Amino acid sequence: MKTSSLMPGSAGHAAIVELVEMSPEGESPSGSILSKARSFAEPLLLTQRFETGEDALTHADGVNFILSGIGAPPSLRAAAYLVYASEYLTQPEEIIARSFGEDEATLVTHTRKLVQVQRNARDAMADDVDGPLAAEQVERIRKMLLAFSRDLRVVLLRLASRLQTLRYYAESKQPCPRALARESLQVFAPLANRLGIWQIKWEMEDLSFRFLMPESYKAIAKSLDEKRLEREHHIEQVRAQLAQALKDAGIPALVQGRPKHLYSIWKKMKGKDLPIDRVFDIRALRVIVADIPACYAALSRTHELWHAMPEEFSDYIAKPKPNGYQSLHTVVRDEQGRSIEIQIRTQAMHDHAESGVAAHWAYKEAGTKGYAGVQAAGDFETRVAEARKTVLRQLLAWERDLAAADDAQGEPGHKGLFDDRIYVFTPGGEIIDLPSGATPIDFAYTLHTNLGHRCRGAKVDGAMVPLNTALKSGQTVEVVSIKEGGPSLDWLNADLGFLKSQRARAKVRAWFNALAQQATIARGRESVEKLLQREGKTAIKLDELASRLGFKSADALFDVVGKDEYSLRNIEQFLRPAAPEQSPDELITQRIARADPSKSATDGKGVLVVGLDSLLTQLARCCKPAPPDSIGGYVTRGKGVAVHRADCVNFRQLAAQQPERVIPVTWGRQAITESAQYAVDVMVEAHDRTGLLRDVCDVLAQGKIHVLSMHSHVVRDRVTITLTVQTGDTSRLNNILAKVLQIGGVLRARRK
């Protein structure tokens, strides 16, 4: 198996030296953190094996070697040991943070979480190599994307780890699980490609191809091997010929043969339906020169030397690939008519093609502020933020590639798998996950609830935009806020399009619900304080009063009083000293003596009769009874008998405190005539939606129920509607409420 590494003097090697010089730990070039990490992990990993059968320490050594080959810094290579060692520690984060610092502990945590996600979802992979990804797999890829966004070094660790596992299966001659090989081919290799890490990409593709399609792999390998000596002789001949031609033209250049990748050959054969002798990059050269002008000079000399095939020419220097790859690609035919693919690039382009933007980000960001929580506070941090955005945009493009691949399959249920989410950036380069169509206000609430409340404007990619602008993946969003303030009611208007996220909508509703509750509490406080003034009890402590009345706090008491759900008479009775006891019969007798003798108040059996003109009774406001409700009477002081519903909470409390004042009552003939109408409170609980109130009122109107008043209260996505209606028969009202319950979204409809 062929591998490559950076040579001294290359740009990647210089980057490592730069990293060591700027390292916050002040490490020497010997990489003491790397040796320290291996010494720390060795006793933990020495006797351990992974579920793949790999020796744990050998795997960590292999990951370290692969990371070294793409120019990763010693601190990242050290993490390869710490990630695996953490599996065998009881408190890995604390121990690693204490021994190696918070930065390494954070990297280990993020990597372990991603590994767990992969383990949990890999079984969802099917055996079909070219089929669309399952929905579970797509969701896991999204989680991978978010994991990468928290710490991009996770990208390099996971790619290197997967490549090392594939190497293990190849070297040990053991069968590789198809799910693992397919995941490597369809997820990890495209990710490496998007990030431009070619040396990992091609090897991962070839190994996966070998495990998934062994017959095709062997056929191509055999075809290449049959003419290997002839081809190698020819390549060396044309290499020397081109090197001499460039030297004669005064163009310093390094000309070398380019590795042949079997999977790439197979894809070209399959995609263009070509025999193997028509695949041009079987014979390939790479030319590395000093600068860009030398690239074009070398191209010109090459075309003078051999016959060029114009349809096979690509200029990736003038128009780089999306992942930053640059090179000149041309195909020529030699004197015998054999095709040769030639790539021409500078040393910097070559280093970038081998290591990609991910490695570039890794060593550029390892500054005094470490990898996490970078803020664009200065020139260095600004460069870091831009490098972070560059890589993250490639991750987003990688996600779109996967979605497009699924769309191309034409499978129902797979089109638009990623269309429901977008990913945007903060000015510091942090990625934020939002629902598709989200606005700057949704973005602000995702960052912090208080920032959302104070949001008054937004900049997208540096330009001011309206707050209801739909954001797109890859944009950078900056929130313009005020020091104090709250949201606007307009934000809850769905037609205006200010909010897409249900989470943000719930936070805006919570703000206004809190304001409404504060107003209710203030109203209740005012009523209670006025009562205390009338009773001469202003010295009493409000919290103590609430506690003795059975409430958790004074605000809880004020809340129910402000909503008219708790009668002030209960507080009056609590505050007033007990009067000399007088039997209920004596009270009734006194009222009868003062009443109109022409109107009967009792039935002669000691049961009080409730009628429209009864002087002895009044209907309680707390429960608003109406025929044919089961009722009970409570003898008040100086105000006759209060008639409550038998299930009224206040009535039960009064009956428990003073049972001697409770008397039996019943509805009289006058109370149940057709002309008798009673005010009754009705409560409807439902999922909030447009047109709900209209539908409820329509049902009530069809049942000829007159609505006297209405109040609504919204909490998150639920609304509670309290209506005071007029009815002469509550049994008929119950039938109407049963119809209300059938309205879409209604959860409960009942008497209050």
3-state secondary structure 545-592: HHHHCCCCCHHHHHHHHHCCCCCHHHHHHHHCCCCCCCCHHHHHHHHH
Helix (H, G, I), strand (E, B) or coil at 319: coil
pLDDT of residue 537: 77
Query: Which range is least confidently modeled, 238-242, 351-355, 716-720?
Result: 351-355
C-alpha 496/C-alpha 637 separation (Å) is 56
pLDDT of residue 2: 34
Q: Which of 472, 444, 437, 446 is nearest to 458 (CA)?
A: 444
Query: For the segment 637-682, what is each residue's pLDDT rounded down to a tens digit?
Result: 777 788 898 888 888 888 888 888 888 888 877 777 766 788 888 9
Residue 376: pLDDT over 50: no
The strand pairing partners of 285, in sequence order, are: 257, 342
Helix (H, G, I), strand (E, B) or coil at 273: coil
In this structure, are residues 77 and 19 in contact, taking their beta carbons and an 8 Å threshold?
no
Q: If 0-12 CB within 10 Å is exposed, 13-18 middle and 19+ buried, where does residue 121 land? A: buried
| Max mean pLDDT range (101-110, 163-172, 413-422) | 163-172
Mean pLDDT to the nearest integer, 291-318: 92
Residue 230: pLDDT over 80: no
Residue 345: pLDDT over 90: yes
Beta-carbon neighbour count of residue 324 at 10 Å? Answer: 18
pLDDT of residue 366: 40
Percent of the chain surpassing pLDDT 70: 72
Q: What is the CA radius of gyration of the chain?
A: 40
Higher model confidence: residue 369 or residue 588? 588
pLDDT of residue 277: 57
Query: Which range is least confidently modeled, 134-138, 459-463, 616-620?
Result: 134-138
Residue 193 vs residues 92, 441, 716: alpha-carbon distances, Å: 33, 35, 44
pLDDT of residue 564: 85
The H or E element containing residue 328 is strand 328-333
pLDDT of residue 598: 42
Please tell me what DSSP assigns to residue 595.
S
| Domain 11-363 CATH (choose: 1.10.3210.10, 3.10.105.10, 3.40.630.30, 3.40.50.80) | 1.10.3210.10
548-550-551 Cα angle (round to 5): 105
* Structure tokens belonging to residue 419: 């269309």
Helix ranges restricted to H, 213-261: 214-226, 228-248
C-alpha 342/C-alpha 47 separation (Å) is 48
Task: List, in order, residues 6 or more apart from 219 with CB less than 8 Å away.
Answer: none
Mean pLDDT to the nearest integer, 691-711: 85
pLDDT of residue 622: 85
Query: For the segment 511-551, what is each residue's pLDDT rounded down to a tens digit?
Result: 988 888 888 999 999 888 888 888 777 778 888 888 888 88
* Structure tokens belonging to residue 448: 């912090």
460 φψ region: left (φ > 0), alpha (ψ -120 to 50), beta (else): beta
pLDDT of residue 346: 92
C-alpha 549/C-alpha 552 separation (Å) is 9
Q: Taking all residues of the chain, what is their mean pLDDT, rounded to a whole number?
A: 76
Mean pLDDT to the nearest integer, 464-480: 88
Higher model confidence: residue 302 or residue 348? 302
Domain with CATH 1.10.3210.10 in the chain: 11-363
* Structure tokens belonging to residue 491: 């934000």
Helix ranges restricted to H, 46-188: 56-69, 74-85, 92-100, 102-121, 135-150, 153-172, 178-183
pLDDT of residue 303: 92
Mean pLDDT to the nearest integer, 350-363: 60
Amino acid at 702: Q
pLDDT of residue 741: 87
In this structure, are residues 14 and 359 in contact, taking their beta carbons and an 8 Å threshold?
no
Mean pLDDT to the nearest integer, 328-339: 86
CATH class name, domain 678-751: alpha beta
How does residue 365 score in pLDDT terms, banded at 50, 70 and 90?
very low
Mean pLDDT to the nearest integer, 190-207: 82
Query: For the segment 381-434, what is each residue's pLDDT rounded down to a tens digit?
Result: 555 455 556 655 666 566 555 555 555 544 444 444 445 677 787 887 676 778
How does residue 295 score in pLDDT terms, banded at 50, 70 and 90?
very high
* Structure tokens belonging to residue 678: 């009673």
Helix ranges restricted to H, 316-447: 347-365, 379-409, 440-447
The H or E element containing residue 315 is strand 314-315
Mean pLDDT to the nearest integer, 170-179: 89
Residue 599: pLDDT over 50: no
Mean pLDDT to the nearest integer, 460-483: 88
HSE at residue 145, side-chain half, CA atoms within 13 A, is: 26
Task: List, in order, residues 6 or more apart from 69 with CB less than 8 Å away.
Answer: 3, 4, 5, 6, 199
C-alpha 677/C-alpha 673 separation (Å) is 9
Domain with CATH 3.10.20.30 in the chain: 421-500
pLDDT of residue 207: 92
Mean pLDDT to the nearest integer, 206-211: 91
Task: List, in order, residues 6 or more apart from 382 with CB less than 8 Å away.
Answer: 376
In this structure, are residues 744 and 752 in contact, taking their beta carbons and an 8 Å threshold?
no
* Structure tokens belonging to residue 352: 């970038």
C-alpha 136/C-alpha 138 separation (Å) is 5
In this structure, are residues 195 and 355 in contact, taking their beta carbons and an 8 Å threshold?
no
Helix (H, G, I), strand (E, B) or coil at 738: helix
Rounded to 10 degrees, what is the CA torsion of 244, 246, 251, 255? -80
pLDDT of residue 216: 84
Rounded to 10 degrees, what is the CA torsion of 559, 565, 569, 575? -30
* Structure tokens belonging to residue 243: 């090197």
Residue 462: pLDDT over 90: no
Domain with CATH 3.30.70.260 in the chain: 678-751
Query: What is the length of the chain?
Result: 752
pLDDT of residue 600: 44
pLDDT of residue 412: 40
CATH class name, domain 421-500: alpha beta
Beta-carbon neighbour count of residue 738 at 10 Å? Answer: 11
Query: Which range is least confidently modeled, 358-367, 431-440, 603-612, 659-668?
Result: 358-367
